[in-house]
Chain A
Amino acid sequence: MRRLGPLVFEPRLVPSRLAVLGVSLAAVLFALLLASAVFYGYGRNPWQAYAQIGRGLFGTWPSFSEVLRRAIPLILCGVGLTLAFRARFWNIGAEGQLLAGAVAATGVALFLPVPEGWRLPLMFLLGFLAGGVWAVIPALLRVKLAVNDVISTLMLNYVMAYIVEWLVHGPWKGPTMRGFAYTDAFPLSARLSYLPGTRVHWLTLVLGIAAALVVTGLLARTRLGYEVRVVGQSPEAARYAGINFTAVFALVMLLSGGLAGLAGVGEVAGIHWRLRSPGHISMGYGYTAIIVAWLARGSPLTAVLTALLFGLIFAAGDYMKTALGLPFQITGVFNGLVLFCLISFDLLMFWRVRLARKEEAWTGSTGSSAR
């Protein structure tokens, strides 16, 4: 128990599911409250604005489908990241792994002579492998050479972005694009179909939800899942138990990066139908997925929900830019506020706060009174 002014903080050893949900919701609501200031600043009534956004997003199926579409890459990357984070492997590289998947898919779509029916399955398979292999590199670097995983995964994002840039400016520049830096468009057999009336490439969405289920099962019921949890919670115990770190990290990152790679396949085969500048292939999905996974607290199924929340924020941002005429930075401001509030509200998840009773001494805590 710690005391700060008139408040007392009591630790919750294991926060209940209800506490987690309640605190997270409160944080999001508080972020929306803070964001109202932005609306005021632009001379708009925030409540009307929120009502308008709500009607705009949930009014019709095509407009709501945009939330789903934006969530697809976040689900795949987010689920992969929860797995890596469970093993305490800080994979900041989903962005690059996504691009690796996009590159592999483009290679299959445009250059590999395969029967038409095989094209999409091969794109997903090789996209998964490309993202996975790109992610295994930092895993091996960490196990063999003790290279910091945050730095190596982050840096490989830039490497992959430049590879994409080089491909579209160099060997893969499309002959039909009149010198502009794009590959040619994919043939029809390499394009994903949409849910009617939307741009939701449903196959990738299904893969994302399936991935969440598979990773949940893997963590709960398999030997690898057990080893991942041990490695993550107590590396010492894992070493003592003789768990092979190289194999665990390599497998975890193969899966984590592979799922991000699938997201990349979905973006190029579902949305772009070509490879183009990396900043336009992914709107920072790989980075947003870090928040998605962090918020989900290591649970792949929760990551589907948090991905939908950020899909909602992205879609709402699109709507605010057009219908409310707010500047383009608005999506970033919303993302930032939500994340900031969620991190700040973490305090409430692990500490119960109440007013101090009179008889409670000022220094009830074992340490200093200030946290």
Chain B
Amino acid sequence: MKRIWAVVLAVVALGAVALGATRIKAGFIYVGPIGDYGWTHAHDVGRRIVDEKYDWLETVYVESVPEGEVETYIDLLIRQGCNVIFTTSFGFMDGTLAAAQRYPNVIFAHCSGFKRWANMATYMADFYQVYYLNGLMAGALTKTGKIGYVAAFPIPEVKRHISAFAIGAREVNPRAEVHVRWIYEWYNPAAAKEATEALIAEGCDVFAFTEDSPTVVQVAAEKGLPSFGHYSPMYDFAPDHVVSGQLVHWEKIYEDFLVKVHKGIYTTKNLAHVDYWWLLAQGAVEVGAKPGMVINPKYEAFLKNYVINHPVFGRISVYDLVFIRLNQMADPGITFDPFQGPIYDRKGRLVVPAGMWMSYDALITMEWAAAGIVGPWPGEP
């Protein structure tokens, strides 16, 4: 008899828990195809990780959504029962805001934008610190002093990354140049290939890039030249030539956000000031050729033997410098930032005064090019 009561109580208790817990159905709207091996792929990896972790969570996604169509897709997802919507392109901003105002009982989060509402938060995982660390390595690796950078669009995000990369390269090698080619596409392997080949012809011998395919890595590796992977782990595409790279962990943001929604911390009333700007310290981004491999072992010896005279640390190997800087930025009490003044742009103007760091607003609107960058820079102040 006691046993039966125990079972009944257990069932009732389970039922109560099930009823009490809010089930979340989260819809993800992607601008690209999930097979792009870049931006959208990374968001989808994050989605799947969180989906598998929590049984109160169900997720659905739509890929390759044109920017003007975002409201249509939000409508369709909400009709399917989604109560949280993530939109992952800057161009979705106004559509997401309009939808947030039309659906006050649904929670929205928009990636990379700046407009918020009572039920609409914003979030971003940014790479500029990681590009700086990659720049330190690239500065040591270049023999010609010319580093190639294949860039997507001349927008502040990409400009910030190239400048951080150039600042890193020059910290190690004050004569290093970063040669930039714009391809005006987020995903275009053919254009990326042409740009890489043109940069090789110009004498560049180390490569970094912003494009959602491993093309630059592959083209450089064919010529035996080192490169830095972008967005996804690209080590496997050229294990002898991928030195390091930028990796993202969107799941850290998605998990934090959804758990807070589930616990009732985030509601449809209090998101107007919720803005994730997550960097190394929050674990949203990682430096490495693949997860857990900060520097490809093939390049360890070289970087350990490459000793420079550093203004702060004195004689130090680039290998050690990378890890010191990484720890300074990954530590929750961040003690270093790549854009730490004094910084002069390539026209010689002081853009960050001595002793200052750039504000968040200055970072996300930055247009200037750091010293050492060579090539056209549309919109340069």
Contacts and interface: CB of A to CB of B under 8 A. Distances in A.
B378 A165 contact: no
B66 A283 contact: yes
Nearest to A69: B72
A267 B79 CA distance: 25
Interface residues of B, number: 34
27 contacts: A63-B79, A170-B379, A178-B364, A178-B365, A179-B155, A179-B365, A179-B367, A180-B90, A180-B91, A199-B71, A199-B72, A272-B68, A273-B94, A276-B68, A280-B66, A281-B68, A283-B69, A318-B72, A318-B76, A322-B60, A322-B77, A322-B80, A323-B80, A328-B33, A328-B62, A328-B64, A328-B65
A181 B155 contact: yes
A111 B316 CA distance: 56
Contacts of A276: 67-68, 91
Contacts of B69: 283, 318
B154 interface: yes
B63 A321 contact: yes
Interface in A236-295: 267, 271-273, 276-277, 279-281, 283
B76 A322 contact: yes
B153 interface: yes
A280 B155 contact: no
A142 interface: no
Interface string B361-381: 000111100000000001100
A182 B91 contact: yes
B184 interface: yes
A66 interface: yes
B379 A179 contact: yes
Nearest to B61: A325
A180 B159 CA distance: 11
Contacts of A328: 33, 62-65
B94 A185 contact: yes
Interface in B65-121: 65-69, 71-73, 75-77, 79-80, 90-91, 94, 114
Nearest to A280: B67
A166 to B, nearest CB: 9
A165 B185 CA distance: 11
A323 B68 CA distance: 20
A62 interface: yes
B283 interface: no
A185 B115 CA distance: 14
The 4 closest A-B CB pairs, nearest first, are A328-B64, A179-B156, A322-B76, A280-B67
A173 interface: yes
Contacts of A63: 79
B91 A280 contact: yes
A281 B68 CA distance: 7
Nearest to B365: A178
Nearest to A331: B64
Contacts of B184: 165, 169
